[in-house]
Amino acid sequence: MKYLEQLTLHLIVDRRSAMIDGIHLNNEVLNHMPQLQTFIFDIVTYTQVIKELNRQSSDNIQRTFRHNIYHHVVSYVEHYSNGTTRSHIYSHAYTISTLKNISNGFPVGIFTNIRKVSLVEILCSFEHEFFVRISRAFPLLDHLKILNRKAQRDRRPRQLDKNDYILSIVQFPHLLHLELHQHIDYAEQFLVDTNTCLPRLIQLKIDYEHLEIVTENFTRDTTRFNCVKLERIDFGRVIVHPEQFYQYFPCCK
């Protein structure tokens, strides 16, 4: 593709012996595309680190992006207890509207252009304060996908001082679409209005049993606010709903 002028690349690469960095992209992409003018990427690499001395840092990776085409690149690295290392590199480009595979190590920043985000962790849970950071980093977010099979360590108790709840509620004022996969704790985190405020939510993808449990068989008051405007709920299979389902979700078709 030697005449290609624009390229946007989203990748998840597993079981590599080394992280993908600027040197790798130079050798495998830029050297084969001499006409390339715009290169936007969002790449996650999983590697197995055998020795502590072989660990790469975010600064090491950052220094490999020297070509002018990169402009501003963000990178972060996470090392897990099982020897897995996860690196995430992406273009801080104002033209990109989607950012995928964000994990706990996501650095602080504000991205007013991003509308669609996916949060993915395989070895650690997402805690309440992480979602506070995400809501502040993406103030105009309208589509959010969460994939995490780990239970939250610090679930917020149902009874807290009212002021404490108000100050720490996660705010997603523009969120329209929400996908919750794997652990039920994230259904509790997002659908209970003392944890998260979703005033515009209209589409939800979730496991039916999780929704049934969290809403207490479609009767729970603290999940009603975030659910009342839902127009479509995707369970991934056909469900025959009880009468109280449609009473609880009056806008569902």
| Total-model pTM | 0.85
Q: Are 117 and 145 in contact (CB under 8 A)?
A: yes
Give pLDDT, residue 52: 56
Regarding predicted confidence, which is higher, 241 or 167? 241
Give pLDDT, residue 53: 46
Return the CATH number at 104. Answer: 3.80.10
Mean of the per-residue pLDDT values for the chain?
Answer: 89
Give pLDDT, residue 22: 93
- Do 68 and 106 lie in one domain? The reply is no
Contacts of 84 (CB under 8 A, 6+ apart): 46, 47, 48, 49, 123
- Do 163 and 238 lie in one domain? The reply is yes
- Do 42 and 109 lie in one domain? The reply is no
**How many folded domains does the chain comprise?**
2
- Do 136 and 248 lie in one domain? The reply is yes
- Do 114 and 80 lie in one domain? The reply is no
Query: Across residues 42-57, what is the average pLDDT?
Result: 74
- Do 34 and 155 lie in one domain? The reply is no
Which of 94, 121, 138 is at the close of a domain? 94
Whether residue 216 is predicted with pLDDT greater than 50 in this model: the reply is yes
**What is the percentage of the chain residues whose pLDDT exceeds 70?**
91
Whether residue 143 is predicted with pLDDT greater than 60 in this model: the reply is yes
CA distance 64 to 43: 15
Give pLDDT, residue 76: 92
Measure the CA dihedral 211/153/105/18, to 10°.
Answer: -90
- Do 189 and 71 lie in one domain? The reply is no
- Do 157 and 90 lie in one domain? The reply is no
- Do 161 and 128 lie in one domain? The reply is yes
Give pLDDT, residue 199: 97
Q: Are 79 and 53 in contact (CB under 8 A)?
A: no
Which of 62, 94, 126 is at the close of a domain? 94
Give pLDDT, residue 81: 82
Q: Are 36 and 4 in contact (CB under 8 A)?
A: yes
Q: Per-residue pLDDT tens for 72-127? A: 888 999 988 888 899 999 987 666 788 888 999 998 788 899 999 999 998 899 99
CA distance 189 to 34: 48
Give pLDDT, residue 158: 54
Domain that holds residue 163: 97-253
Which of 64, 94, 124 is at the close of a domain? 94
- Do 51 and 117 lie in one domain? The reply is no
- Do 152 and 235 lie in one domain? The reply is yes
Give pLDDT, residue 55: 63
- Do 19 and 35 lie in one domain? The reply is yes
pLDDT band at 168 (very low <50, low <70, confident <90, very high): confident
Q: Per-residue pLDDT tens for 112-125? A: 999 999 999 988 99
